[in-house]
Amino acid sequence: MLPGPILLAYSTISQVGYLLMAIAVADRADLALPSLLLYVAAYSITNLGAFAVVCALPDARTLDDFRGLRQRRPWLAISLAVCLLGLVGTPPTGVFAGKLTVFTATADAGLWWLLVIAAINTVASVFYYLRWLVPATRPGNDLPQPGRAGTATAYVATAVSIVVGLAAGPVLAAVDGGLLRP
């Protein structure tokens, strides 16, 4: 199985597509720029959390090496699950809010074909991330003590990802109402 960092690198390619959607409709939808900014911030935080889990467990070289994570390091497993499912775009994470606003801007611009492709890609990504989450929930390896910096970063990024998702409305209003207007 592919190691986590490689899966996250491939994931980045897909995530850039959502950013490009906002750019593609920038001249046709008022929500395009605020959605781009929200998505970039939310994706950066959530991806940092996923990479932090990888850094916390440097001896986990394959996805199968994450077996037993739920039993041995439940909070780290929760962080991994929130971050990976966040990258899919599940509520209440910031990436959900970012994707929702990017999708809304794309719909407002009338690019329905692009919206359909993005929705199909989002559904396909569920299976992509489950390749990592399923082994982490199964009994298995006796995992070493995780690194403190990686663990702390994973916990903070996970919490911030959720806070950004829950506060997306006020954040968008602030960005659209004051920061982007001359």
Q: Model confidence over 73-89: pLDDT tens digits?
A: 999 999 999 999 999 99
Q: Does any domain span residue 31?
A: yes
Q: Does any domain span residue 180?
A: no
Q: Three-state secondary structure along the chain?
A: CCCHHHHHHHHHHHHHHHHHHHHHCCCCCCCHHHHHHHHHHHHHHHHHHHHHHHHHCCCCCCHHHHCCHHHHCHHHHHHHHHHHHHHHCCCCCHHHHHHHHHHHHHHHCCCHHHHHHHHHHHHHHHHHHHHHHHHHHCCCCCCCCCCHHHHHHHHHHHHHHHHHHHCHHHHHHHHHHHHCCC
Q: Model confidence over 4-51: pLDDT tens digits?
A: 777 788 888 888 999 999 999 999 998 999 999 999 999 999 999 999
145 vs 113, residue with greater confidence = 113
Q: Does any domain span residue 181?
A: no
Show the domain range for 118.
4-175
Q: Does any domain span residue 55?
A: yes
Q: Does any domain span residue 182?
A: no
What is the arithmetic mean of pLDDT over 136-160? 90
Q: Does any domain span residue 37?
A: yes
Residue 110 reports pLDDT greater than 90: yes
In total, how many domains does the chain have?
Answer: 1
